[in-house]
Amino acid sequence: MHIYNFWSWPTQLIDDFRQWRLVRKALKEEEVKQGFASFRYELRIDNIGRIYTVINIPEELYPYEKRDMVWPWMLEQLRELDDILMRVRLNDLVYPEVTKLEDAPAYLVVLTPSTDSLSLGKFFRWLFNCGVTFFTIYLINAIVSSSTGNSIIGHFLSLF
């Protein structure tokens, strides 16, 4: 059993927001734009700070019998992208999501800052834990108040 940390989710949310702002600010710098221009696939940036590109599979890897060679080739392309991100110091701040495009022999690579704390499930769990915490404090306060005639704060102040 561990003690519930009341501030864990809000601090994670603030950290994710800070990372997003840092990435968004870095994407506007000229050095980063030049680093992205050196990648052989065009890296695009959208308004919310995501970096994306489409990586086309070469024709020699199209046949069905060579489909096992596509993913290692794709990983090599991602290594090159990671080298560029390392040069512009963004490799620790953005995380890739690679999805195969339907109807095309290509992959969509989207690099986004961490958004793990942005979920309704985590928010509702935090809200439920806050409710349980405040209800427990209210219940303890009611018990202390009925037995001593003072609230919790008044009881602790009378000890000193």
Residue 1 has pLDDT above 60, yes or no: no
Residue 130 has pLDDT above 60, yes or no: yes
The structural domain count of the chain equals: 2
User: What mean pLDDT, rounded, does the chain reach?
Assistant: 84
Burial of 143 (0-12, 13-18, 19+ CB in 10 A): exposed
Tell me the pLDDT tens digit for each residue of 56-104.
Answer: 888 877 766 666 788 888 888 888 888 888 988 888 889 889 998 888 8
Question: What kind and span of H or E run contains 106?
Answer: strand 106-113
If asked whether residues 47 and 83 sit together in one domain, one would say yes
Which residues form the domain of 152? 120-159
Quick check: is 83 in a domain? yes
Residue 126 has pLDDT above 50, yes or no: yes
If asked whether residues 133 and 87 sit together in one domain, one would say no
Measure Cα distances from 103 to 60, 100, 112 in Å.
18, 9, 24
Quick check: is 14 in a domain? yes
DSSP secondary structure code for residue 72 in this structure: H
pTM exceeds 0.75, yes or no: no
Quick check: is 3 in a domain? no
Residue 150 has pLDDT above 80, yes or no: no
pLDDT for the residue 151: 80
DSSP secondary structure code for residue 57 in this structure: P
Burial of 111 (0-12, 13-18, 19+ CB in 10 A): buried
Tell me the pLDDT tens digit for each residue of 14-31.
Answer: 888 998 898 889 888 888
If asked whether residues 87 and 44 sit together in one domain, one would say yes
If asked whether residues 72 and 89 sit together in one domain, one would say yes
pLDDT for the residue 3: 67
If asked whether residues 77 and 155 sit together in one domain, one would say no
Quick check: is 82 in a domain? yes
Percent of the chain whose pLDDT exceeds 90: 6
> Which of 76, 48, 47, 46 is CA-nearest to residue 61?
76
